[in-house]
Structure 1
Amino acid sequence: MLLMRRRCRLRSRRRELLLLVVVVFGLVIIAYYLMMNENDVEKQPPCTVSQEQRRRLYPLLSTVSSLLSRLSITHFLCYDSLWGAIQESGPLPWDVHAHLCALNEKVSVHDEAELLRAFRRRGLTLEYSSADGQYTIRNSTGETGNIEVPTVRVVLFEEDDRLHMLRRVGWRRRVLPPDCDAHPTLQCFPPNLAALPLPMRPFGPLSLPAPREDIDLLKFHYPDTWWRPLQPHC
């Protein structure tokens, strides 16, 4: 009887030991696959821009720039597109859209109907946000499944005589006091950075106007991060 009890306890301990080995082995396998998946995620780019999106962006941007030039509207690369021109000689790898800045005094000599007609003739739509002081321009046709359609965003600036600085337009900013240091959202920068003639910079297959001192403009638009490469924000 005693011998049978000992055998039962031994069998129970063996089962417990075998179960423990199985559990530990399973945990090791799970941890391994989690580490492999984490490494795969780290190796993948944070955002992907398809060749189709790139193929659509360049002719759109070229058309917009040529139209602005024909209308005598001073414009130049800015924001993420200026970063891309400096870092990549083209769009940032994760950026579907393009940014241009333009002088509002050159835009305001044209009425809205004239601008709409000029862009519509080239198959483009023009939407203006009075709150943000920004035009968004896209092809009037060309929705491609579920992918994000490239646009060109033209941000308007005008000179404030009290500040002797260019500041972004839009009613959200007009209510702010004219103090660039106290209100970074005014996105001020000196007028000399947009003085003609503007230099040209490579941007993919294109050559586009850029500010006179590109790093100086980035210092104003990215005061806390201008000294390091821009990181993905998608």
Structure 2
Amino acid sequence: MKLSLVSIRRRCRFWSRRCEWMFLLLVVFGMIITMHYWIVAKKDIEEQPPCIVLQEQRRGLFPLLSAVSTLLSHLSITHFLCYDSLWGAIQESGPLPWDVHAHLCALNEKVSVHDEAELLRAFRRRGLTLEYSSAEGQYTIRNSSSEAVNFEVPTVRVVLFEEDDRLHMLRRVGWRRRVLPPDCDAHPTLQCFPPNLAALPLPMRPFGPLTLPAPREDIDLLKFHYPDTWWRPLQPHC
């Protein structure tokens, strides 16, 4: 009986050592696999081409943006830099290095004074096309003379906001958001911000060779539109 107990203990120690070695081998194998995938992923990231904005795109953006801002001012439509373009104005005093488009926000109460046909004619006379997305509450404006090219044509996107009397906040228009309850905290897609940020007269900010209207407190507007990332520089998303 004594011999059998000794034999059992020896077997247990033998299998215990084998299990330890197998565990160590699995750990080492797992580390090798992890390092391999990390190296491959890092190499893939490094080999990705940077966001490139061609000179033709940049040369086309500034005249287009100037024409849009001038026309909106002529129509007495309150507008100002916002979203990525406001980020660019703060970080670069111009467009973000990877951005070929421009964003302006405008007050819908000033836009709605003009009927759609009047707006279309006004933009067409200046060689611009105007497209409205009723879902997003956004105009997309481009040069009507833009030819088919092998790069993305610059546009100016004018996003509309209107004041909600129940919230005493400006909220983005568009039917996708009209169906939501008036609760800015529960529905961030309403993209609310206080009306005083758009109160006239608006300050002017340099934007490349242009000087354009900006919100009264630019950082405060970014806090509302980028609540989770406003404190750090915007990263490329191309």
TM range (shorter): 0.7 to 0.9
Contact 1:75 1:102 in 2 (8 A): yes
Q: What secondary structure sits across from 1:208 in the alignment? A: strand
| Residue 201 of structure 2 corresponds to residue 197 of structure 1 | yes
Task: Specify the alignment match of 2:76 in structure 1.
Answer: 72
Query: How much does 1:193 deviate?
Result: 0.1
Q: TM-score, normalised by structure 2?
A: 0.81
Task: Specify the alignment match of 2:219 in structure 1.
Answer: 215
Task: Specify the alignment match of 1:186 in structure 2.
Answer: 190
> One-letter code of the match for 1:172?
R
Distance in 1, Cα, partners of 2:85 & 2:47: 25
> One-letter code of the match for 1:182?
A
Deviations 1:81-100 (A, max 9, x none): 00000000000000010000
Query: How much does 1:145 deviate?
Result: 1.8
The equivalences for 1:10-29 within 5 A come to: none
Task: Specify the alignment match of 1:132 in structure 2.
Answer: 136
| Residue 59 of structure 2 corresponds to residue 59 of structure 1 | no
Over the aligned positions, Cα root-mean-square deviation in angstroms equals 1.8
Distance in 2, Cα, partners of 1:126 & 1:104: 16
Query: How much does 1:142 deviate?
Result: 1.8
The equivalences for 1:63-212 within 5 A come to: 63-212=67-216
Structure 1 residues without counterparts, runs of 5 or longer: 1-30
Q: What secondary structure sits across from 2:129 in the alignment? A: strand
Task: Specify the alignment match of 1:18 in structure 2.
Answer: none
Query: How much does 1:42 deviate?
Result: 3.4
> One-letter code of the match for 1:102?
A
Distance in 2, Cα, partners of 1:187 & 1:51: 33
Query: How much does 1:146 deviate?
Result: 1.2
Distance in 1, Cα, partners of 2:67 & 2:46: 37
> One-letter code of the match for 2:114?
H
Deviations 1:17-65 (A, max 9, x none): xxxxxxxxxxxxxx9xx99x949x7388631000000000000000000
Contact 1:46 1:232 in 2 (8 A): no
Q: What secondary structure sits across from 2:167 in the alignment? A: coil
Structure 2 residues without counterparts, runs of 5 or longer: 1-35
Q: How many residues align?
A: 200
Instruction: Detail structure 1 runs of 4+ shifted over 2 Å in the superposition.
Output: 41-46
Task: Specify the alignment match of 2:31 in structure 1.
Answer: none
Distance in 2, Cα, partners of 1:112 & 1:157: 17
Query: How much does 1:71 deviate?
Result: 0.1
Distance in 1, Cα, partners of 2:153 & 2:67: 16
Distance in 1, Cα, partners of 2:194 & 2:47: 41
Q: TM-score, normalised by structure 1?
A: 0.82
Q: What secondary structure sits across from 1:230 in the alignment? A: coil
